[in-house]
Copies of this chain bind each other. A is one copy, B any other.
Amino acid sequence: MFALSALGAFAALPPAPPAAAQTAPAPAAPAPIEADWHDIPDSEILVITLSGGRQVFVRLAPRYAPGHVANIRRLAAEGWWDGTAIYRAQDNYVAQWGDPTDAKPLPPLVIENPPAEYEWPQYDGVAGMSRPDPYAPRTGFSADGWPLGTDGKASWLTHCYGMVGVARDNPPSTGSGAALYAVIGHAPRHLDRNIALVGRVIQGIDLLSTLPRGREALGLYSTAAEQTPILSVRLASQLPEDERPRFQYRATDNPRFAAFIAARENRAEAFFVRPAGGADICNVDPGVRRLR
């Protein structure tokens, strides 16, 4: 098989320097240790059940978008998304879900346009990428694994693959959170600081990325029959205790993760003849693990 080999994030590969390396090869990154894994609270996990019982799991980011996440929790608590649909799939861009008719009233206590939560007045990144990218002078990860851009003052979540954001109309709309999208293509980083990002798909992204693409403008489906029905959306904390999925995030504030970034920036696997010396934050995913 002519495989593109050596692509596993934590593969224990020989640390031998590639033949024509232009940069010093990094040592193979050590695997995370048990203490690096931390529970994601049940109140920060959204369980989206699609037709056929297939499930997508989203980790919420209440620290960065408290107003929008409060709305999303309320919408889940009310079962508001039950019977809605995925009504948009645009190739190399986003899949989007909510009420396709845009007519369903929001439940009480859901604020139609919360204050914009596009950036955060500090930077709490602990593990940084070596080089700037076109969208941020500096990028890095919060200790609990969120990808961030910063200009040295404010910081913001970055639109990496699988990130979930709040669809909105033109300003001053900020979106309620009733319509959400997930990134299913190359990171649309031009949306950073322009939209409230509220979480990331942690399992089931392939259910969204493989959806047939909509043929209308923006990837909207032409007919309701093409949409994917959403049976229910619940917080894990709403589910009976023995039915709750249990996920853990990987902490980034440790030397194992720093070595992982270095290994992604300077690929030492035998496959590579020329490590890049840098990497896009969206090509570095701390990952999660599911315990049950």
Interface residues of A (CB under 8 A from B): 1-8, 18-19, 87-88, 90-94, 96, 98, 100, 102, 116, 118, 129-135, 160-162, 167-172, 175, 178-179, 181, 185-195, 205-206, 209-213, 217-218, 220, 264-265, 267, 270-276, 278-280, 282-283
In the complex, what's the smallest C-beta–C-beta distance from A173 to chain B, in angstroms?
8
Contact A209 B19 (CB under 8 A): no
Q: Give chain B residues whose Cβ lies under 8 Å from the Cβ of A4.
A: 94, 96, 167-168, 181, 191, 195, 218
13 other A-B residue contacts (CB within 8 Å) besides A91-B205, A192-B276 = A1-B87, A2-B96, A2-B102, A4-B181, A18-B171, A19-B171, A92-B205, A134-B276, A135-B279, A186-B280, A193-B276, A194-B273, A210-B212
Q: In the assembly, how many copies of this chain are there?
A: 2
Collect the chain B residues with CB atoms within 8 Å of residue A206's CB: 91, 213
A88 CA to B135 CA in the complex, in Å?
32
The residue in A187, A189, A190 that gathers the most chain B C-beta atoms within 10 A of its C-beta is A190
B2, B91, B175: the one contacting A179 at CB < 8 Å is: B2
C-alpha gap A195/B213 in the complex (Å): 29
In angstroms, how far is the closest chain B Cβ from the Cβ of A214?
10
- How far apart are the CA atoms of A1 and B189 in the complex, in Å? 23
